[in-house]
Amino acid sequence: MGETLDLERALVVGVASSALFDLAESDAVFREKGEEEYREYQREHIDDVLEPGVAFPFIRRLLDLNDLSDRERLVEIVILSRNDPETGMRVMRSVAHHGLDITRAIFMQGRAPYRFMKPLRMSLFLSANEVDVREATELGFAAGHVVGHAAEDDGGADLRIAFDFDGVLAGDSSERVFQDRGQEEYQESESALAEVPLERGPMADFLEKINRIQGIEDARSVSDPQGFQRRVRVAVVTARSAPAHERAINSIRGWGLRVNDAFFLGGLPKGPILEALQPHIFFDDQRRHVDGASPSTPSVHIPFGKINRE
């Protein structure tokens, strides 16, 4: 009851109902029969609970981190939906059924609601609507397109997050060197600039908010070394290899951020590594990596940078 929500300090994430729940059946009605039939279908099925979607385990675990503080709300999830308020009722009833602590929602009939990311200080918007995600990204927002199928949620409390580096945590300036000049010049450039941090990318603000929560975990671990178990773990899984790894590590440190684990794969497939790592979500700017990972790992395509405009 004593929790307060400070939008500047909290990790605020916007999630479309299409990312949180499995809407395949509803979407089929919309595509095949049109908006009016879709609205009627949702009214008729208002008490039918929607099954978890790709982002569900990730969102549930994020919300569970709020128990780390009894003074402030660390995580706030807001539903951003193209549904009108009436048909959106099924989504909110499903939210309540699954016990998700989500009370805020924006319903805009047939229109993309991502423009409200800025006033709500959102660090991320997740959706299964690729057009919405690309438009939000073009406007400078951190947005991700969820890909693949829902993974079974084992009900655990731990949260493992995996990021690609270039075009995700960092900008894509190094990636552009690689694409334009090739591997050899890229490695030479990264070696020469090893001590120069890259510009922050679209997901750096999100990582910063995650690091803040990890800092609270650190303090709890110091005060209760025997009883407290850290839950959040962050990994970078990148195609970079030595010597380009140094600039990645130095950039993260230069931004004042941190990760727990780093995998420098030198172009090896990421899918098998992620299958072993078992993150609850993986962010990458290259669709081929997302498609390779999504059969085993809840995956998100960040359509940022030059490589996604060609």
Q: For residue 100, what pLDDT is reported?
A: 97
Give the percent of the chain with pLDDT over 70. Answer: 99
- Between CA 157 and CA 76 the distance in angstroms is 17
CA distance 281 to 274: 10
Give residue 270's pLDDT band: very low, low, confident or very high (50, 70, 90).
Answer: very high
pLDDT at 303: 97
pLDDT-based confidence at 1, cuts 50/70/90? very low
Encoded amino acid at 198, one letter: L
Chain centroid to Cα 70, Å, comes to 25
pLDDT at position 128 is 94
The average confidence (pLDDT) of the chain is 93
Whole-number Å distance between alpha carbons of 180 and 173: 11
Residue-level pLDDT at 155: 86
Is the pLDDT at 127 greater than 80, yes or no?
yes
Residue 98 CB contacts under 8 Å (≥ 6 apart), including other chains: 49, 52, 56, 60
User: Does pLDDT of 290 surpass 70?
Assistant: yes
Q: Which tokens hold the place of 102?
A: 């989500």
Angle at 227 between CA 225 and CA 230, to 5 degrees: 75
What residues contact 55, with CB distance under 8 A and at least 6 apart? 15, 19, 20, 126, 146, 281, 298, 300
| Share above pLDDT 90 across residues of the chain, in percent, rounded to a whole number | 77
Query: pTM for this structure?
Result: 0.94
- pLDDT for 183 equals 85
The pLDDT of residue 107 is 94
- 286: Cα within 13 Å, side-chain hemisphere: 18
> What is the pLDDT at residue 32?
87
Q: Which two tokens stand for residue 21?
A: 């729940």
CB burial of 263-300 (b: ≥16 within 10 Å; e: otherwise) equals: bbeeeeebbebbeebebbbbbbbbbebbebbbebbbbb
* 27 among known catalytic residues: no
Q: What share of the chain is helix, strand, coil (3-state, %, to 5)?
A: 40, 20, 40
User: Do the domains 11-147 and 159-308 sit in the same CATH topology, yes or no?
Assistant: yes
Asked if pLDDT for residue 30 goes beyond 80, the answer is no
pLDDT at residue 11 above 90? yes
| Band (130; pLDDT cuts 50, 70, 90) | very high
| φ/ψ (deg, to 5) at 189 | -65, -45
Q: Decide if 3 contacts 116 (C-beta within 8 A).
A: no
Whole-angstrom Cα distance, residue 304 to residue 290?
Answer: 14
pLDDT band at 110 (very low <50, low <70, confident <90, very high): confident
Is domain 11-147 in CATH 3.40.50.720, yes or no?
no
CA 149 to chain centre: 15
Domain spans of the chain, in order of start: 11-147, 159-308
CATH 1.10.3470 fits 159-308, yes or no: no
Confidence band for 173, pLDDT divided at 50, 70 and 90? very high
- pLDDT per position as a tens digit, 210-252: 999 999 999 999 999 888 999 999 999 999 999 999 999 999 9
Q: Which of 47, 84, 153, 164 is catalytic?
A: 164
Per the structure block, which two tokens stand in for 180? Answer: 């334009």
